[in-house]
Chains A and B, each alone.
Chain A
Amino acid sequence: MRVFDSFTGTNRGQAATVIQRHGAFTRLWHWVNAACLLVLLMSGLQIFNAHPALYWGKDSSFANPALSIHAATGNDGEWRGITQVGPYRFDTTGVLGVSGPDEARERRAFPAWATLPGPRWLSAGRGWHFLAAWVFVPMLLAYLAYLVLSGQLRRRLLPRRQEWRTLGQSFYDHLRLRFPRGEEARHYNLLQKLAYLLVLFVVMPLVVLTGLTMSPTMDAAWPWLLDVFGGRQSARTIHFLCALALVIFFLIHIVLVLVSGVANNLRSMITGRYRLPASEEVLSDEQQK
C-alpha cells in the first residue's frame, strides 16, 4: 500500500486526503472472488437440493439427519415446508421446503431464486460449481501467498499486541456504526483484522478442503482428509456451515460498506483510491445532527 506521507490533517478548507488503499491484485482478487462465491453459493444450493439433508459421520444415517429441509402435508391437505435442525422443526413454507408463486408452488429445499440455474438441474449446478471452483481455488492460493510474501499479512492484518486491549471498544463502536476517521482510518481496526483473517485463513481453506473430501478420488489420494473432518458426510456438513459463515460475513460486509460510505468504499475497491473520512474534531464542528 502506498501511503501519502504528506498528510497534515483535515482542517476545514483543506483538500481531502486520498490514499491508495488497495493494490491492483487485491482489487482484482476481490471482484473475481465475489463473482466466484456468488456462483459457488447458488450452484451449491442447487446441488444441496438434490439431497436436502446433512449428516455427521462417515455415511448418511437417513433416519437421523442433523438437518433436513423437506415438505410435509399439513392438516389442511396443503404442502408445508419443514426445516428440521436436530430435534427442532420449523415451518418455513414460502422459502425452504415449499416455495414459488401461488399458482406454481414447488416442493424444493431452497427456492428457485436462490439456485443456479433456477430449475431443478443437478448436473448443471455441478457444472457451475466446479467451473467456479477452478477459478476460486487458484485465486485463493495466489492471494494468500501474495499476502504472506508481500508482508501485507504482517503489516495490515495481524493484530499488534497493544491492539488486543481495544477489542471491547472496537466491538462497541461497530455496534453503534461508528467507524474510524482521520489517521485511524488508514488501518484496519481489530475487528476488521480478525474477520478478514478468519475468512481468508480459516473459512475459505476449510470450504476448499471439505469440498475435496466429498470427492471419492480425492479421498483415495489424500485419505487424511476423511480423518481430519470425521468422514465424508461430516465434511459435507462442514462445507455447508462454511458456506453459511461466508453468507453471514458477506451480509455484514455489505451492511458495513453501505453505512460507512458506499461510494468511497466502492471506489477504493475499484480504483484503489480511498478518501480518509474527516477526523472527529472537524466533524463535530460542522455536522451537528
Chain B
Amino acid sequence: MNSKNRPTDPRRRRFLTRSLLAASAVLLTGCDRLTRSDTMGRLFDASSALTQKAQRLLASRESLAREYSPEDIAPTFRANGTTDPQDATYRRLAADGFRDWRLTVDGLVERPQRFSLDELRSMPSRTQITRHDCVEGWSCIGQWTGVVLSDLLAQVGVRDEARFVVFHCADRYRGGDAYYESLDMIEAYHPQTLMAYGLNGGNLPVANGAPIRLRAERQLGYKMAKYVMRIELVESFAHLGRGRGGYWEDRGYEWWAGI
C-alpha cells in the first residue's frame, strides 16, 4: 500500500478498529439478551402496529385475497400444529361424527346462541380456493367451504362495544395452554373470512381442524384457528391467556398477522 494512504493519526485507526471489534462483540453476545428486553419487545410491537396501519391504508376493507383455480389445489393440504387433539370432550364428539358438537357464540352479542354443524351447513355458504401461508414460510392451496363469519355475527347481533372476535379451540398445542386466536372487526367482517367445515369438496378432516376452523385469508396461518368450539366477542384481551390476543401472540408472535 502506498505510504501516503496511511492515516495521519494512528490513534484514529486504533479507534476505528476498536469500534468495529466492540460493535461485533455487542452484536454477537448482546443481541440475544437485547432481544429478550422489554425495550425490544416494545419496539417490535411498535413496528408491528406500524405495519398494520400501513397495510390497512393500502388494502381496503374489501380487497380480496387471490382465489385460485381447481388445478392449483395441492394434492394434500399440509396439516400443521395440532393434528389430533387429545382433549377428552373433543374425542368423544369426534367419535360420534360431531353430532353433539355445538358452536357457542357469546360475549358482547345481543342473542348468544349455540349452532349445530347441520345448522351451520344449512346457512348460506361460500366456497373459495385460496393460498394458506404459514408463518414458517411454506404455502399450500386448498378449497374451503363454510359460513361467512359476518353472516354468523349478524345472526347473534354484535354489540357496539365489541372490538375483537375471539376463537376458542379444543386443542392444547403440545399439551400446553388452550389454543385461541382473535381478529378485529375489519378482518372478521371481510367477505372471505369463513368458519369453514369443508376442504377440497369433502368434510374438513380432523388433521385440518374438524369440525370447523377459521379461514382469514389476508392473515398468516397461525391466525386461522382449528377445532373452534366457541366464538366470543370481546372489548379487550385482558381476561384471556397472557393478554396478547392469541396462543402464538402470548409467545411473542405479532398480533397483526398480515405479514
Contact = CB atoms under 8 A, between A and B. Distances in A.
Contacts of B44: 124, 127-128, 130-131
Interface stretch (A93-101, A162-170, A209-217): A209-217
Interface string A3-15: 0000000000000
Contacts of B219: 216-217
Contact of B31 (A58, A116, A123): A116
B154 to A, nearest CB: 23
Interface stretch (B145-153, B202-210, B250-258): B250-258
Contacts of A47: 137
Contact of A217 (B1, B131, B259): B259
A128 B253 CA distance: 12
Interface residues of B, number: 54
Interface string A35-74: 0001000000001101101010011101000000000000
B141 A59 contact: yes
Interface string A118-138: 110111101110110010000
Contacts of B13: 263
A119 B35 CA distance: 11
Interface string A245-270: 00000000000000001011011000
Interface stretch (A83-91, A144-152, A194-202, A220-228): A220-228
30 contacts: A50-B135, A51-B134, A58-B139, A59-B140, A117-B31, A117-B32, A122-B136, A123-B252, A123-B253, A124-B44, A124-B252, A126-B135, A126-B253, A127-B40, A127-B254, A128-B44, A130-B47, A130-B48, A130-B51, A130-B254, A134-B50, A216-B258, A217-B218, A218-B258, A219-B65, A220-B218, A221-B60, A221-B63, A223-B66, A275-B4
Interface of B: 1-2, 4-7, 12-13, 16, 27-28, 31-32, 35, 40, 43-44, 47-48, 50-51, 55, 58-60, 63-66, 68, 72, 74, 78, 131, 133-141, 217-220, 248, 251-254, 258-259
